[in-house]
Amino acid sequence: MAKEGSGSILQFAPLQSSVDEGFWHRLSSLKLNKFGIDDSPIPISGFYAPCSHPQVSNHLTLLAESLLSDSNDESTMPSVIRGNRNRCSVPGILYNTNTMEGFHALDKQGLLKAEAMKIWEDIHSGKAVEDCAVLSRVLLISFADLKKWNFHYWFAFPALALDPPATLVDLRPASQWFTLEEAESVSTACNEWRNSSVTADVPFFLVSIGSDSHAAVRHLKDLEACQRDGQKLLFAFYDPCHLPNNPGWPLRNFLALISARWNLKTVRFLCYRENRGFADLNLSLVGEALITVQQGWREQQCVPNAVGWELNKGRKVPRCINLAKSMDPTRLAISAADLNLKLMRWRALPSLNLEILFSLKCLLLGAGTLGCQVARMLMAWGVRRITLLDNGRVAMSNPLRQSLYTLDDCHNGGDFKATAAVRSLQRIFPAVEAEGIVMAIPMPGHPVSSQEEKSVLEDCKRLNDLIDSHDVIFLLTDTRESRWLPTLLCANRNKITITAALGFDSFLVMRHGPGPFNSIPNLKAETEDSLAAGMDNLVLTNTDGQHRLGCYFCNDVVAPTDSTSNRMLDQQCTVTRPGLAPIASALAVELLVGILHHPNGIFAEAEIANSSSGGNFELPLGILPHQIRGSLPHFQQMTLLGHSSNSCTACCSTVSCVRISKERYAIHTPGY
């Protein structure tokens, strides 16, 4: 019994798209970390399943796994796990443009035609018979605005247009087309096909029914065997559509295969649909169509016209989705913070190693004007783990120049700078792992009473442990003597050490050279004999024979003393021009990034700008100086070189050796 309107043009229900948020997140990650400005087509895999609800069609879905992994493997195709009954794979291609203008300028009809050509070639080569999943394809064009998390996109499901269109002879529910015996056997055979991991996701197949009403489900390549047996034959496919009067979109290319490959003019088809995981012949449809095509259409060089661009509310326009509102604020902040760094790797700095920066642990000694600015700059470079050490409190004069503090931090005598700075960093960037330590740095030349001696020794031990547990140490304190003990400890531990010091209108930024040891000794396992033997490891030269670079104290002939007692107010405070600290802080962090990206790291030889013998401009970040001295009155900046001194009070071999021998019992420092 034919449906009313039989003999009319066969009309197909368009396929609809659905994109999981994970797909856009994966695309963003690939774009930032792997593709950059490369806008070459990207292979993708879509997924669909037969309709499983009488009132809702299934969509073709893109998931995170629809894209290849963002790891550095050589795979060019997304990994698809076969055998999932709810994920019939559809191969496809993604064109993601770099600009919105590029998105609009894409030759959409040309791209659609190219994808249809792939289907046409697979039909004529026989690949579509061996692997019927290639009969369906998905085309996606997009523009990802990673700054605002807007994604503009447009789907196409390429379909070969029969010319003239197929004529519908009959279409009815499958339960009305089969006899009771046939219906029971077809249901059983289809359920077995769907429940097998080998065939669960094979979307096109044959259903043959013998004279005894026994049904069998077979692969497309078995067509000739079915025809020889003289059995009743239906061309079946997983139909994502729920409509009672229209077959789903996959039938279009199936009919093209049947006509071009087997030259059939009358086709009976089964639109397989199910309910709760089992065949539902009341929802499924059986139809009969007549195919008449023009002469030469079956030739491979005669590619049919292609259709398939998805409509958006009935119009041929792209869609847009914004994920910012649905994202966790912390995750959104991390993505936004990393955006500038990852964009650097597209063109300006492809060799930028973000993994080093993300994993770095930095200790900032001093949370004043310099400490606040350095912390901000470190976060801008992607450093996530920052420890600030300071024992001062936030004063009313601080917030204007110390960027991490506000007036609220000054009330009731002022909060401790270390803890207030951490709160501020976490408000600025919730993902930062910041710790504030309230502690004074023991200083030579400052008398210590007998009551304070135990506490000072504990502070020495704690400072030693902090330096040992961090990768980079910034010396950002107000006084010269407060830099002495950290300099000595850093030299002994061979830590990357950066000093920033301010005058009224001048500044110094420098990296300390490596310590006097070729290797870091295991102090806990040392004996007095091994310490004596270790004297041979105390050297003034790097492993390559170059002279060691000096530390902050190497050019001093006077030991550090108390610089705050018996001083007027303007001599006790760091009185500087306001623009000086931001400049010095930024240079200090940039110097660190240069060290991390230099092949020799802390052992890198000093380079001087405009020098014929130095200055390796082939490095991605330019030269790596030892010292940078700047003068605001002259708006001038110089790069200088200073070698280590064998009489340095902080990093020479004699001082380091004495400190090691005493460390076995307690950490003592000269001057106490």
Residues assigned a catalytic role: 573
Residue from 177, 162, 174, 166 nearest 7 by CA: 166
Backbone angles phi, psi at 35, to 5 degrees: -80, -40
Strand partners, 499: 475, 510
Residue from 593, 613, 339, 631 nearest 508 by CA: 631
- What does DSSP assign to residue 484? H
Is 62 within 8 Å of 22 (Cβ atoms)? no
DSSP-derived 3-state class of residue 17? strand
At CA 547, angle to CA 541 and CA 553, rounded to 5?
A: 95
DSSP-derived 3-state class of residue 443? coil
Residue from 543, 549, 517, 554 nearest 643 by CA: 549
Residue from 263, 354, 653, 661 nearest 255 by CA: 263
CA distance 118 to 306: 11
CA distance 428 to 434: 12
What torsion do the CA atoms of 593, 595, 600, 602 make, to the nearest 10 degrees? -140
Listed as own residue / partner, the contacts of 216-224 with beta carbons closer than 8 Å and 24 or more positions apart are 216/189, 217/189, 217/190, 217/192, 217/193, 220/129, 220/132, 221/129, 221/130, 223/262
